[in-house]
Amino acid sequence: MLLRVKRDTTGSLAALDPADEADLIERCRADDRTAHDEFYHRFRRQVAGNLYRVLGDRTDLDDLVQEVFVIAFRGLERFRGDARLSTWLYRICVNVALGRIRTRKRRPNAVGMTDLDSAPADPSLTERPETPDRSLERRRDQESVYRALEELAPKKRIVLYLHEIEGLDLKEIAYLVDSNPVTVRTRLFYARREFYKIIAGDAALAGDEPAGAGEGDDA
């Protein structure tokens, strides 16, 4: 049975049916340049979107997209077809993102870690009729989430992201991070505890209720 991640990750293009997918893979393996082009054209937005959402910023995003496709083209020979192509690509994205997170941990940016504020091309923020205040608030909340993610160990961060934000189940996450569901469950347990503890201490998220409001602080 093919493993398929629930999320529709095919971007703007229609999803390939399994027969077309197998044909595309075969043509890519035969070094057909038009097949390579089609592969790239079909999956480029999905790959960029996955990386962008996992990492929360677009610094060097084009380099990372390049890395994913280079790995994919190299690895197509060994692709056994036990998952959908899009899922397999998602797995490569996760691994590339993991590598990136590890590098960033060693060499953190001196300035802000996310650039969600400086992403004017993000249509998700412009398509909705939001007030500027609400839009700003939403961006701040997203920044807080990524800031908290940034404090987690890379492996914990990935499983937490895939579970809490992408909504994937343990089996799917286990395939994506090349682990087993029991390990993922343990990792997720500690990741969630750590993540929400950081969130609870984040004053930037305290806008809804001023500190000390209400009666009887600290039961």
Q: Looking at 1, 14, 33, 129, which residue binds other proteins (CB under 8 A)?
A: 33
Axis crossing angle, helix 18-29 with helix 85-106, rounded to the nearest 10:
60
Q: Does 133 bind other proteins (CB under 8 A)?
A: no
Three-state DSSP class for 83?
strand
Axis crossing angle, helix 85-106 with helix 33-55, rounded to the nearest 10:
50
Q: How far is the CB of 213 from other proteins (least distance, A)?
A: 7
Q: Does 106 bind other proteins (CB under 8 A)?
A: yes
Q: Does 73 bind other proteins (CB under 8 A)?
A: yes
DSSP code of residue 180: -
Which lies closer to other proteins via its Cβ, residue 82 or residue 122? Answer: 122
Which lies closer to other proteins via its Cβ, residue 65 or residue 177? Answer: 65
Half-sphere exposure of residue 63: CA atoms within 13 angstroms, side-chain side: 7
Q: Does 53 bind other proteins (CB under 8 A)?
A: yes
Q: Looking at 42, 58, 84, 156, which residue binds other proteins (CB under 8 A)?
A: 58
CA dihedral 56, 48, 72, 79 (to 10 degrees): 90
Return the residues of window 178-217 that contact other proteins according to CB under 8 A: 192-193, 195-197, 199-200, 202, 205-209, 211-217
Which lies closer to other proteins via its Cβ, residue 171 or residue 193? Answer: 193
Cα 40 from Cα 26, distance rounded (Å): 15
- Helix or strand holding residue 102 (H, E): helix 85-106
- Cβ pair 97, 54 in contact under 8 A: yes
Count of C-beta atoms within a 10 Å radius of residue 100: 20
State the residues that interact with other proteins by CB under 8 A. 11, 33, 36-37, 40, 44-49, 52-53, 56, 58, 61-63, 65-66, 69-70, 73-74, 106-108, 110, 119, 121-124, 138, 141-142, 144-145, 148, 164-167, 192-193, 195-197, 199-200, 202, 205-209, 211-219
